[in-house]
Amino acid sequence: MKRKRSYSRVTQHALSLLGKLIRVGRTERGMTAQELADRAGISRTTLYSIERGSTGPEVGVVFEVAAIVGVRLFQCDERTLAMHNAHLDEKLTLLPQSVRSSGKEVDDDF
């Protein structure tokens, strides 16, 4: 079966933006594409498609590259990241483990 997908504009814009942020970050740090690719453990070809904002590359790789050039996805450091993680774990235990018909609104900051 063919795997044809569509991506919303938000997604495309977000990816395009991320790619540009990575490119700017890389250039500002004086790294060549090859250097950054080596550091992230990927090929220059893949980095190229990431900087182009392609939808295909693996999340892990994209996040890694972003981290290397100082682009923080959640605008916070690792400590804060871990903290939010822990907090969400709590929250997840409070939510119903299985969605039946219609669960509703809980609200939380962040």
Partner DNA sequence: TTAGTATGTTCAATAAATTGGACACGAACT
Partner DNA sequence: AGTTCGTGTCCAATTTATTGAACATACTAA
Give contact residues for DNA (rule: CB under 7 A). Answer: 1-4, 27, 32-34, 41-46, 48-49, 51-52, 54-58, 61, 96-101
Asked if residue 95 binds a copy of itself (CB under 8 A), the reply is yes
Long-range contacts, stretch 84-93, CB < 8 angstroms, 24+ apart: 84/110
Q: Which of residues 49-88 bind a copy of itself (CB under 8 A)?
A: 54-64, 67-68, 70, 72-75, 77-78, 81-82, 84-85, 88
Residue 40: how many CB atoms within 10 A of its CB? 21
Those residues whose C-beta lies under 8 Å from the C-beta of residue 74, and which sit 6 or more positions away, are 80, 81, 84
CA distance 74 to 18: 12
Residues that bind a copy of itself (CB under 8 A): 5-11, 13-18, 20-21, 23-24, 26-35, 41-42, 54-64, 67-68, 70, 72-75, 77-78, 81-82, 84-85, 88-89, 91-92, 95-96, 99-106, 108-110
